[in-house]
Structure 1
Amino acid sequence: MSLTNQKTTEEIALGIRRRVFFHTMKNKGGYLSQACSAAESLALLYNEFLKLGEPTLPKVPLPFRGVPSADNPDAFTGAGYHGPAAPEYDRFIISPAHYALVIYCALIEVGRMDEHALDHFNKDGSSVEMIGAEHSPGMEVTTGSLAQGLSMAAGVAFARKRRNEPGKVWVYMSDGEFQEGQTWECLAAMAHHGIDNIRVIVDVNRQQCDGAMSSVLDLGDLASRVAAFGATCRSIDGHDLQAMRDAADSAEAGKPLVILANTSPFQGMNFLQKRFPRLHYVRFKSAEERLEMQAALAAELGVSPNEMEGA
């Protein structure tokens, strides 16, 4: 649920890509391909799917105040940017913490965070971390090593179901998390307990830090495997907004819904195809390559020369 009420989902998706692009160019590196693959699904979540209240944290993020504990009343979690955890509102668990920059840009695009929040990105003492933790904007929990977020979300969803709370639990995942056994155990547990108030969106971009997933640990027919574990599984084009909407409305009683959003890690920035599959974190090999990439991506994203000043 957007707080701006002025932008279309398409405009928000483009805005996410542009912001991550500017940040990457300015900082000589960044998680650029995740913006390419995830922009549409995150724009849909924040602008249309999620039922959230007003943020409870300031638009310019607070500095890190320590981890939550009974002895630390000043601690906070990034869930405050999603509003209060009231029964009628949805909860949103972000599992791949390395998508943090893309999440921050999504929060800015929908008016939940100030654009100057990125001035604090990856700075000592800041909560705006490069790899999100529970205190980072938009992050409700620290998902540890990859693939722990789904289990946490399932526990929250099970508790909400037992309390008859109307709010749903949404989860954002990367496809690499299906290389981990904990994900499959969680799917089986959700099916067994009939946890049907959970919605899982998976960014299936088929690349990871070590290269193409097919060369690291191929997942095969992921849709069939997920369905075999008892979930309702929809495999769709993750850049097709209407396909995403239809999939989100197709949940079945008694079963968790898993949407496999098949995406491209260079969607909207085709120049990056030259780097595939080494796209997990984009660094520039030379000043010349940076200039070449900057010019090519700016043209693809419709960025003017004036906008490029400072990047």
Structure 2
Amino acid sequence: MTKNWVAAVEQAANNIRKRVLGLTIKQNGCYLSQALSSAEILSTLYLKSLNLGPSEAAFVPGAFAGVPGTPNGHPAGHGGRYNGPGNGDWDQFIISPAHYAVVIYAALVEAGRLSEDCFDSFNTDGSTMEMIGAEHSPGFVMTTGSFGQALSQAGGVALGRRLKNETGQVVVFLSDGEFEEGQTWEAIQCLAHHKLDNVKVIADVNGQQVDGLTKDVMNIEPLESKIRAFGGSVCVINGHDPVAIDEALGQSEAGKPHVVLCYTETDRGIPLLTPRKPHLHYVRFHDDAEVQAFREFHAAM
């Protein structure tokens, strides 16, 4: 049984990488490295670990009919409906880093919650398939930025769920750059103070940000001991190991928010990107020869 779901997750992760690479080639630019680092994390969550109800949203999302935010400009419902109802016994899944939107969409396709044809409208005028996700984007429960605000929002959701005696978990996906934000640490401290052990955080620790290596721009380590000092429980794992991801989510401590630190690689599965490290925050191609090399690699995936 374990072997079956692991194989499914690994195939989904490979499909995510291939789909996002294809989109990067087509548009000559996308958040590709985030897909490479988080593919196993999101595949494991959607295909195995999360307890999500059936999608309540259209398989093909609607476009904006007018200016976003106006009564006539918002498509029916919000992006969180793709994750199911998120109340009662169901988990609520909150995406924090909005620039991971393309990976979320690809994971929703692998989970059978979103049409793969939707990528034809990715990042085009009027489409809800935006490059930077917000509350109307498939898979996004709420707008979580500028940056680093989702964990605070999750605390409010988790407290409300506890007051209503709901058994479902609040699961938050973070990027490691958010540990540079003071609000993230205030949120962990607050979650611990209120003993909100119905909150689980899974972080993509890929060590990269827009200006280079995180350790050079703003060192956040040692994350494990810092999180424990602020009152959380922690697991440190290889973020490309589906079994480790699934098991770590279940190793929480009573009365504490639980954080899974998934250490990952930003060139995972695409060695052509390795010479560019650590400048992979947003991938564009330099010339036609490079585009052709990536096309050939994509065709062989």
Counterpart check, 1:277 vs 2:283: no
Instruction: Name which of structure 1's ranges 188-197 and 239-248 shifts more when overlaid on structure 2.
Output: 239-248
Query: What value does the CA root-mean-square deviation take over the aligned residues?
Result: 2.0
In structure 2, stretches of 5+ residues that fail to align are none
1:220–1:84 CA distance, 2 compared to 1 (3 A): closer
2:291 aligned counterpart, secondary structure:
helix
Aligned to 1:84: 85
- 1:220 shift after superposition: 2.1
Residues 68 and 75, structure 1, Cα contact 8 Å, conserved in 2: no
Instruction: Name which of structure 1's ranges 257-266 and 24-33 shifts more when overlaid on structure 2.
Output: 24-33
- 1:154 shift after superposition: 1.4
1:71–1:274 CA distance, 2 compared to 1 (3 A): closer
1-structure distance, mates of 2:75, 2:241: 42
1:203 aligned counterpart, secondary structure:
strand
Residues 16 and 106, structure 1, Cα contact 8 Å, conserved in 2: yes
- Cα deviations by residue, 1:216-255 (Å, 9 ceiling, x for unpaired): 1011211111111000011111011221122111011100
Residues 64 and 74, structure 2, Cα contact 8 Å, conserved in 1: no
Aligned to 1:55: 55
1-structure distance, mates of 2:282, 2:62: 26
Aligned to 1:189: 190
2-structure distance, mates of 1:53, 1:282: 34
Residues 63 and 75, structure 2, Cα contact 8 Å, conserved in 1: no
Q: Which amino acid aligns with 2:52?
A: L
- 1:292 shift after superposition: 2.2
What does residue range 224-263 of structure 1 map to in structure 2 within 5 Å? 224-263=225-264
2-structure distance, mates of 1:50, 1:67: 30
TM-score between both structures, scaled by the size of structure 2: 0.93
- Cα deviations by residue, 1:39-58 (Å, 9 ceiling, x for unpaired): 00000000011111221111
2-structure distance, mates of 1:294, 1:177: 33
Q: Which amino acid aligns with 1:82?
A: N
- 1:61 shift after superposition: 0.8
Aligned to 1:21: 21
1:25 aligned counterpart, secondary structure:
helix
What does residue range 1-311 of structure 1 map to in structure 2 within 5 Å? 8-64=8-64, 75-295=76-296, 297-298=297-298, 302-303=300-301
Q: Which amino acid aligns with 1:30?
A: C
Residues 234 and 258, structure 2, Cα contact 8 Å, conserved in 1: yes
Q: How many percent identity over aligned positions?
A: 47
2-structure distance, mates of 1:75, 1:91: 20
Instruction: Name which of structure 1's ranges 210-219 and 96-105 shifts more when overlaid on structure 2.
Output: 210-219
| Structure 1 outlier segments of 4+, above 2 Å | 64-76, 292-295
In structure 1, stretches of 5+ residues that fail to align are 304-311
- 1:279 shift after superposition: 0.3
1-structure distance, mates of 2:6, 2:260: 27
Residues 78 and 140, structure 1, Cα contact 8 Å, conserved in 2: yes
- 1:75 shift after superposition: 4.8
1-structure distance, mates of 2:200, 2:7: 24
2-structure distance, mates of 1:86, 1:272: 41
2-structure distance, mates of 1:99, 1:7: 24
- Would you say how many aligned residue pairs link Structure 1 and Structure 2? 296
Q: Which amino acid aligns with 2:133?
A: G
- Cα deviations by residue, 1:116-159 (Å, 9 ceiling, x for unpaired): 11111111111110000100000110112110111111110111
1:62–1:42 CA distance, 2 compared to 1 (3 A): same
1:170–1:265 CA distance, 2 compared to 1 (3 A): same
